[in-house]
């Protein structure tokens, strides 16, 4: 439990530091916000015994950053070409991750990727709206799903 509190405090502090752009004068309200965020997170997401792989987490973050940059460039190039360059569609995929935090992280991660947005999660089926169905989004989503599986040490 103590480890969970320390990790969440460090994450909240890092997030506040980023949001406040490192301003020292913001830490009065920042301390209250950090403590509140940790207390609320413990209330709604209690400490668990779910194993998390640090190596898997680092690999996931690298993959997320890479796909975000690459996807942003793809969307920007398509925007310069105009609407005719896009072919929006709905992609449906069957999830291999078990229900829980991994699936939620996957849906939220895909929603942050440029050009994709989760539309519906029903049991083990996820429907995504994509800006261009010609792009290899299904393969990228599977790669992200596998990376999340490694974070939570889930075999797929």
| 118-154 b/e (C-beta count within 10 Å ≥ 16 → b) | eeebeeeebebbbbeeebebeebbeebbbbbbbbbeb
Average pLDDT over residues 114-120: 88
Name the percent of the chain lying above pLDDT 70: 97
SS3 114: coil
Split at pLDDT 50, 70, 90, the class of 50 is low
Determine the 3-state secondary structure of 34 from DSSP: helix
- Per-residue pLDDT band at 61 (split at 50, 70, 90): very high
The average pLDDT across 5-14 equals 88
Q: How many CB atoms lie within 10 A of CB 30?
A: 19
pLDDT confidence tier of residue 156, bands split at 50, 70 and 90: low
- pLDDT computed for residue 72 by the predictor: 85
| Domain regions of the chain by residue span | 2-44, 54-151
Q: What is the pLDDT of residue 49?
A: 60
């Amino acid at each position: 439990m103590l480890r969970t509190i320390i990790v969440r405090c460090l994450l909240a502090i890092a997030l506040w530091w980023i949001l406040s752009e490192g301003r020292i004068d913001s830490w009065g309200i920042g301390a209250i916000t950090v403590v509140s965020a940790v207390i609320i997170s413990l209330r709604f997401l209690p400490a668990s015994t779910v194993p998390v792989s640090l190596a898997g987490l680092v690999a996931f973050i690298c993959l997320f950053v890479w796909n975000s940059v690459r996807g942003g460039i793809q969307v920007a190039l398509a925007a310069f070409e105009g609407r005719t360059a896009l072919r929006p569609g709905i992609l449906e995929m069957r999830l291999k991750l078990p229900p829980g935090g991994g699936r939620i992280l996957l849906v939220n991660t895909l929603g942050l990727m440029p050009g994709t947005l989760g539309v519906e999660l029903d049991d083990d089926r996820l429907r995504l709206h994509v800006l261009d169905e010609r792009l290899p989004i299904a393969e990228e989503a599977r790669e992200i799903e596998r990376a999340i599986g490694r974070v939570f040490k889930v075999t797929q």
